[in-house]
Amino acid sequence: MSEAPPLLKALAIGKQFPGVRALHDVNLTLFQGEVLSLVGENGAGKSTMMKILAGIHLPDEGAIELDGDFVEISNVREAQKYGIALIHQELNLSDNLDIAANIFLGNEPHKSGIIDRNRIHKESAQFLKRVGLEFSTDTLVADLTIGHQQLVEISKALSVDARIIIMDEPTSSLSQKESEKLFEVIQDLKSQGISIIYISHRLGEVINLSDRVVVLRDGENAGELVGDEITHDAMVKLMVGRDLSQFYNRKVTKLGEEILEVKGLRTPPYPNNEISFSVRSGEILGIAGLVGAGRTELLQTIFGVTPAVGGMMKLKGKKLMPKNSLDAIDSGVVLAPEDRKRHGLVLEMNVRENTSLARLRRDQKVGMIDFKIEAELADKTIKDLKIKTPHSDQIVQYLSGGNQQKVVLGKWLSMSPSLLLLDEPTRGIDIGSKQEIYKLMEDLAASGVAVIFVSSEMEEVLGMADRVLVMHEGSITGELSREKLNEEAIMQLATGNKAAA
Amino acid sequence: MNKNTIGILSLFILIFGFTWYSNENFVNGYNMTNLVKWSSLYAIMGIGVAFVIITGGIDLSIGSVIGLVASILALAIKYEWNPTLTVVLLLGLSIVIGLMHGLLITKVKLQPFVVTLCGLLFYRGISRWLTDNQTMQYPDTEGLDSFFSGKVSLADSSFALASPFFFLVLIAIMAAFFLNRTIWGRYLLALGNNEDGARYSGIQTDRLKITAYVICSFLAGVSGLLFAYELDSVQPAQTGEFYELYAIAAAVLGGCSLRGGQGAIFGVIIAAAVIRLLRNSINLVGISTHLEFSIIGLVILGGVTADELIKRIVAKRRSSKN
């Protein structure tokens, strides 16, 4: 393979976003008919790199070479023209249209504006055959499972003659069977000469699929592995830049009283599934599972933003049934949500206003804001959490992901919670901030706070949790103590295979 | 004072200067008295709708609420109701109207545009029905005079500050205090910027939104009473018509983004004055009054475009600095 000239070469790519350097001097080479995996922790720059190749972002520095010629990919349409297709983690299909209409969306063959329906159905059928999807082309996409929708996305890529298909976390919401089907399709595409760039947190998949692996860390190349070199340990070492034991060194603290007890809890998206568990003071409880397993919804129900439809919860022995987040906050339960920008922060307000937002009520003087206390609180938070901001009047939008997350945490820590809920706490965060957040989690646990965190990042779950609950389709499929934690066991439970427990 | 308010103040001074330069009769006691009075009336409506716009909503029913209040007031005078009771009743009615809007928007989750558009039609119809669509005069009544006829004349001049101005000062101070100094004002701005984010921080967003609609309708009611008193008569089909658009224009030109989360009371007041001033100066400068709407439209468009461009430049500079 090394004889043939590379299909695609990305040279010294650099990309800057407001407040954060996403990529710096990143090089990447892709040959025809190979599966190249791109791995790295959250925030390492994988997605940005892919978006540059797919024409969604323009690089600030560097160049892209395709078939030995320099090309400029300035929008998605141009990427398509060059045969590059990106399949997002969240699929981009229109639910209300049928399979054929989705495959040809934006590329409809037409005669003076009237879509040639016969042709799109006939051609779509051929693409479906190539990905092994046995559905009629007039099936509504809304009626397909996520796994099947993904195959429609791949068909769509084939319809524009893609030579390079980029898949961003394709298995994050697939069942085991669906994942296996996808791997077969990938092998098929490979044998047809199509190159795949595969992004995943699941190192097991990466080992099985990849011809080569490129590891990114903090927006830079951390290393490359070929063939037999692709092992779990080698990848992790490159991802975190040191031995894992140094990165996560969870010192288990002595557990105290029971903080939260959940019994037969039923959440709105899964009203028939009962969830029961408990967490104690000083404990860090991890919740693992696929995207869509109901983990986020569980946290949101404990926090009261989507009230429970049944069951009961007790916080320190007192009944807790929050009808809104205010109830939960008043009882000492706080949540740093998964979607930081939409739920965690008011982006257009400054650091001071964001850190005080939840506390204003507590510090008010007959409804008036106590500006002195507010300013002191902001300065203390900035200092304690080492938030990198020029001053407390900085609009949080212009902070990096890591510093934004610290603002969210700062907002809650000043409320002295007894239960801290974290949903994907390190998504899109650089390694430095990440380690500080882990340290913070440990310190809080040591001070007697109970911490529950949801994470899709395997290393994080393995490294930080004292105990792990694994969820699948709205139920807890198993519980793993620290001694029994390993990726294989978690994946088994996450894909609904109870036997592993 | 923020950049937007400085911009709109400059615009006011520019138009004021230009009109004065073109027609020296512009600055006389009588004209200034009227300009201040009408600007105040517009500004009261504008402040009301600003609260709704800050939440990311809209209220199209303001003009019809004004028409309804003015019509019922005329009936009350005709049937010799107790003046104090009538005023209390009408303000109560406006609060109930705002409450209904707020409940429909937050609890039934209807869109503000739709709810208040239906309000616009409904209250106008009720006004015409109650009055049999007859134009009605307000005879002088002592009871009402005591509420609204306050006037402070300045020594040796024909210039006087009419009661709407004093109402405006009171309302503006309270509104600015609420928005900038109280926790609820802060919550309102947070909610306008990011409703989910506010909700996840323990803010009861529904209640706040309802409050905004209540404030808006209440101030529409207040200005309805003041308009009625100034106009001396009410035409149920027309009184207050299009006023919601002037109010929204004042709020937007004054720095409220229709996307929500932004607003400055002082800016809204000056913007209301700009709109009144434009009408006045079109007359005095000698431009065809038929162009009045076009010119007001163009000035507002120019104002918000300039504001948007400035914002973009500032954002760019800020992000490149990091």
Residues A256-274 have pLDDT tens digits of 999 999 999 999 999 999 9
Residue of A305, A345, A346 to mutate for B, most B C-beta atoms under 10 A: A346
Q: Cα B51 vs. chain centroid, distance in angstroms? A: 10
Contact assessment for residue A18 and residue A189, using Cβ atoms and an 8 Å cutoff? no
Share of chain A above pLDDT 70, in %: 97
Extract the tokens encoding A170: 């394709």
- Among partner residues A305, A348, A398, which is closest to B193 by beta-carbon distance? A348
Q: According to the model, what pLDDT value does residue B80 have?
A: 85
Are A95 and A232 found together in one domain? yes
Predicted confidence (pLDDT) per residue in A149-193, tens digit = 989 999 999 998 899 999 998 888 887 788 888 999 999 999 999
Do A321 and A348 reside in the same domain of the chain?
no
The token pair that represents B30 in the structure block: 């009588």
pLDDT tens per residue, range A336-363:
999 999 999 999 999 999 999 999 999 9
For the segment A312-336, the average pLDDT, to the nearest whole number, is 96
Contact B194 A357 (CB under 8 A): no
3-state secondary structure of A192: coil
pLDDT of residue A496: 76
The parent domain of residue B142 ranges over 3-321
Nearest CA of chain A to the CA of B65: how many Å? 30
**CA atoms of B135 and B238, how far apart (whole Å):** 10
Query: Hey, which residues 290-349 in chain A have their CB within 8 Å of chain B?
Result: 303, 305, 324-326, 328-330, 335, 337, 342-349
Residues A215 and A79 in one domain: yes
Q: How many CB atoms lie within 10 A of CB B88?
A: 11
Please state, in angstroms and rounded to a whole number, the distance separating the CA atoms of residues B58 and B51.
9
Distance CA A250, CA A441 (A): 10
- Above 70 in pLDDT, residue A244? no
Interface test with A, best of B106, B107, B174, B183 (most A CBs within 10 A): B183
pLDDT digits (tens, 9 = 90+) for A83-108: 999 998 778 899 899 999 999 988 88
DSSP 8-state secondary structure symbol assigned to residue B264? -
Mean pLDDT of all residues belonging to chain A? 90
Of B286 and B184, the structure prediction assigns the larger pLDDT to B184
Q: What are phi and psi of A320, to 5 degrees?
A: -130, 110
Residue A84: alpha-carbon gap to chain centroid: 23
A467 located within any domain: yes
Q: Is the pLDDT of residue A195 over 60?
A: yes
**Alpha-carbon distance B319 to nearest alpha carbon in chain A (angstroms):** 5
Q: Which of A31, A51, A49 is nearest to A39 (CA)?
A: A49
Using left for φ > 0, alpha for ψ between -120 and 50, and beta otherwise, residue A288 falls in: beta
Q: Which of A15, A97, A20 is nearest to A50 (CA)?
A: A15
B154: left (phi over 0), alpha (psi -120 to 50) or beta: beta
CB contact under 8 Å between A368 and B182, yes or no, is yes
The overall longest dimension of chain B from CA atoms, in Å, is 69
CB contact under 8 A, B197 and A346: yes
Give me the helices (H) in A304-421, please.
325-331, 351-356, 360-363, 371-384, 401-413
Whether A286 contacts A469, CB under 8 Å = yes
Residue B201: its chain A contacts at CB < 8 A? 325, 357-358, 411
**Same structural domain, A399 and A441:** no
Count CA atoms within 13 Å of residue B320 on its CB side.
7
Cα–Cα distance for residue pair B210/B120, rounded to 1 Å: 18
Contact B322 A19 (CB under 8 A): yes
Alpha-carbon gap, residue A118 to A125, rounded angstroms: 11
Same domain, A318 and A347: no
How far apart are alpha carbons B240 and B237 in whole angstroms?
9
**Angle of CA points A164, A168, A174, to nearest 5°:** 120
Rounded-to-integer distance, Cα B229 and Cα B40, Å: 14
Edge to edge, what strands does the sheet with A20-30 contain? A20-30, A8-17, A61-66, A69-71
Q: Rounded CA gap, B140 and A182, in Å?
A: 84
Is-contact B98 B213, C-beta < 8 A? Answer: yes
Residues A229 and A81 grouped into a single domain = yes
Nearest CA in chain A to B197: A343
Min CA distance, B318 vs chain A (Å)?
8
Task: Please check whether residue A21 touches B, CB under 8 A.
Answer: no
Residue A246 pLDDT grade (very low, low, confident, very high; cuts 50, 70, 90) = low
Do A343 and A408 meet the contact criterion of CB atoms below 8 Å apart? no
CA–CA distance, A434 with A40 (Å, rounded to integer) = 13
Tokens for A85, please give them: 């297709």
Q: pLDDT tens digit string along A421-448?
A: 999 998 878 778 888 999 999 999 999 9
CATH number at residue B249: 1.10.3470
d(CA A25, CA A62): 7
Chain A residue numbers with beta carbons less than 8 Å from the beta carbon of B202 are 324-326, 328-330, 358, 361
Average pLDDT over residues A27-45: 90
Q: Which of A100, A139, A153 is nearest to A122 (CA)?
A: A100
Cβ separation A346–B198 shorter than 8 A: yes
Q: Name which of B54, B106, B318, B322 to mutate to probe chain A: the one with the most chain A Cβ atoms within 10 A of its Cβ.
A: B322
Query: A61: number of CA atoms within 13 Å, CB side?
Result: 13
- Contact list in A for residue B56 (CB cut-off 8 A) is none
> Quick check: A468 and A490 in contact, CB under 8 A?
yes
The residue among B68, B60, B52, B47 whose CA lies nearest residue B106 is B52
Residue A332: strand, helix, or coil? coil
User: Across-strand partners of A286?
Assistant: A453, A468
Q: Do B201 and A18 touch (CB under 8 A)?
A: no
Given a contact cutoff of 8 angstroms between Cβ atoms, the answer to whether A35 and A209 are in contact is yes
Instruction: Say whether pLDDT at B193 is over 50.
Output: yes
What mean pLDDT is predicted for residues A308-315?
95
Across the interface, whether the CB atoms of B204 and A367 are under 8 A apart is answered no
- The pLDDT confidence band at residue B152, using thresholds 50, 70 and 90, is low
Using the Cβ of B183 and the Cβ atoms of chain A, whether some distance falls under 8 Å is answered with yes
CB A199 within 8 A of CB A213: no
- Among all residues of chain B, which has the CA nearest to that of A330? B202
Q: Given this model, what pLDDT does residue A500 score?
A: 45
Sign of CA dihedral B57, B58, B64, B70: positive
**Chain B partners within 8 Å of A395 (Cβ):** 318
Print the domain residue range for A365: 341-416
pLDDT for residue A103? 93
Q: Tell me the pTM.
A: 0.85
CB-CB neighbors (< 8 A) of A367 in chain B:
182-184
Q: What is the DSSP string of B222-258?
A: HHHHHHHHHHSEE-TTTTTTTHHHHHHHHHHHTT--T
Q: How far apart are CA A436 and CA A247, in angstroms?
A: 11
Cα B276 from Cα B254, distance rounded (Å): 14
Does residue A357 form part of some domain?
yes
For A304, the token pair is 């009261």
Taking residues B232-239, report their average pLDDT: 89
For residue B173, pLDDT over 50 is answered with: yes
Helix, strand, or coil here: B162?
A: strand
Of A416, A439, A460, the one marking the end of a domain is A416
The closest CB to that of B200, out of A325, A361, A398, belongs to A325
A353: contact with B, CB 8 A cutoff: yes
Q: What is the mean pLDDT of chain B?
A: 89
Residues in A touching B195 (Cβ below 8 Å): none
Kindly determine whether residue A349 and residue B318, on different chains, have CB atoms separated by under 8 Å. Answer: no
Does A365 touch chain B if contact means CB atoms closer than 8 Å? Answer: no
- Which residues in chain A touch residue B186, judged by CB atoms under 8 angstroms apart? 353, 357, 360, 369
Strands (E), A171-241: 195-199, 212-217, 220-226
Q: Is B31 on the interface with A (CB under 8 A)?
A: no
**Three-state secondary-structure class, residue A220:** strand
Q: What are phi and psi of A38, to 5 degrees?
A: -115, 115
Cβ of B200 within 8 Å of Cβ of A364? The answer is no
* Rounded mean pLDDT, A473-485: 91
Distance in angstroms (rounded) separating the CA atoms of residues A238 and A256 = 37
Pairing state between β A114-115 and A212-217 = unpaired
The total of structural domains in chain B comes to: 1
Query: What confidence category does residue B146 fall into, taking pLDDT thresholds of 50, 70 and 90?
Result: low
A364 touches chain B (CB under 8 A): yes
Amino acid identity for residue B215 in this structure: I
Say if residue B320 is exposed, middle or buried (CB neighbours under 10 Å; 0-12, 13-18, 19+): exposed
Please indicate whether, in this complex, the C-beta atoms of A347 and B193 are within 8 angstroms of each other: yes
A352 and A258, same structural domain? Answer: no
Closest-CA residue to A420 (of A400, A392, A441): A441
* Residue among A349, A358, A398 minimizing CB distance to B318: A398
For the stretch A7-32, pLDDT in tens is: 999 999 999 887 678 899 999 999 99
Q: Over range B70-79, report the average pLDDT.
A: 91
Are A392 and A350 contacting, i.e. CB atoms less than 8 angstroms apart? Answer: yes
User: What pLDDT, in 10s, does the model give residues B10-47?
Assistant: 999 999 999 999 888 888 888 999 999 999 999 999 99
User: What is the SS3 assignment for A270?
Assistant: strand
End-to-end alpha-carbon separation of chain B, Å? 25
Q: Which chain B residue has its CA at the smallest distance from A364's CA? A: B183
> What residues of chain B lie within 8 A of the CB of A344, using their CB?
197, 200
A1, part of any domain? no
How confident is the model over A248-262, as a mean pLDDT? 85
A231-240, A367-376, B52-61: lowest mean pLDDT where?
A: A231-240
Half-sphere exposure of residue A11: CA atoms within 13 angstroms, side-chain side: 12
Answer yes or no: is A49 within a domain.
Answer: yes
Most B CBs within 10 A among A327, A331, A357, A422, hence the mutation to make, goes to A357
Mean pLDDT of B97-113: 97
Domain boundary among A242, A260, A287: A242
Q: Are residues A230 and A268 in the same domain?
A: no
Domain count, chain A: 3
Q: Do A324 and A394 reside in the same domain of the chain?
A: no
Judgement on whether residues A311 and A321 belong to the same structural domain of the protein: yes
- Evaluate whether residue A3 is within a structural domain: no
CATH number at residue A484: 3.40.50.300
Question: CB-based contact (8 Å) between B196 and chain A?
Answer: yes
Residue among A330, A335, A395 whose CB faces B200 most closely: A335
Which residues in chain B are contacts of A343 at CB distance < 8 A?
A: 196-197, 200
- Which residues of chain A lie closer than 8 angstroms to B193, CB-CB? 346-349
Say whether pLDDT at B99 is over 60: yes
A205 and A137 fall within a common domain: yes
Is there a contact between B66 and B90 (Cβ–Cβ < 8 Å)? no
Q: Using the predicted structure, report yes or no on whether residue A216 has a pLDDT greater than 70.
A: yes
A305, A348, A367 member nearest B200 (Cβ): A305
Angle at B261 between CA A350 and CA B244, to 5 degrees: 160
Do A495 and A175 contact (CB within 8 A), yes or no? Answer: yes
A19 CB neighbours in chain B (<8 A) are 319, 322
Chain B residue closest in CA terms to A303: B200
* Dihedral angle sign, alpha carbons of residues B249, B253, B258, B262: negative
Tell me if chain A has a CB within 8 Å of the CB of B197.
yes
CB-based contact B199 A305, cutoff 8 Å: yes
Answer whether residue B230 shows pLDDT above 90.
no
A391 interfaces chain B, CB cutoff of 8 Å: no
Report the 10 Å Cβ neighbour count for B110: 15
Measured CA to CA, the distance from residue A370 to residue B226 in angstroms comes to 36
Asked if B79 has any chain A CB less than 8 Å from its own CB, the reply is no
Is the torsion defined by CA of A271, A275, A280, A282 positive or negative?
negative
The alpha carbon of residue B7 is apart from the nearest alpha carbon of chain A, in Å, by: 21
Burial A403-414 (b: 16+ CB within 10 A, else e): bbbbbbbbbbbb
Q: Using CA atoms, how far apart are residues B37 and A19, in angstroms rounded to an integer?
A: 49
Average pLDDT over residues A310-339: 95
Q: How far, in Å, CA of B227 to CA of B43, rounded?
A: 12
Residue B22: how many other CB atoms lie within 10 Å = 14
Q: What are phi and psi of B106, to 5 degrees?
A: -90, -40
Q: What is the pLDDT of residue A419?
A: 97
Ordered DSSP codes for A45-114: SHHHHHHHHTTSS--SEEEEEETTEEE---SHHHHHHTTEEEE-SS----TTSBHHHHHTTT---EETTE
Crossing angle of helices A117-130 and A146-159, rounded to 10°? 110
State how far the Cα of B315 lies from the Cα of A465, in Å rounded to an integer.
Answer: 41
Residues of A in contact with B196 (CB under 8 A): 342-343
Minimum Cα–Cα distance from A337: chain B residue? B200
Same domain, A317 and A287: yes
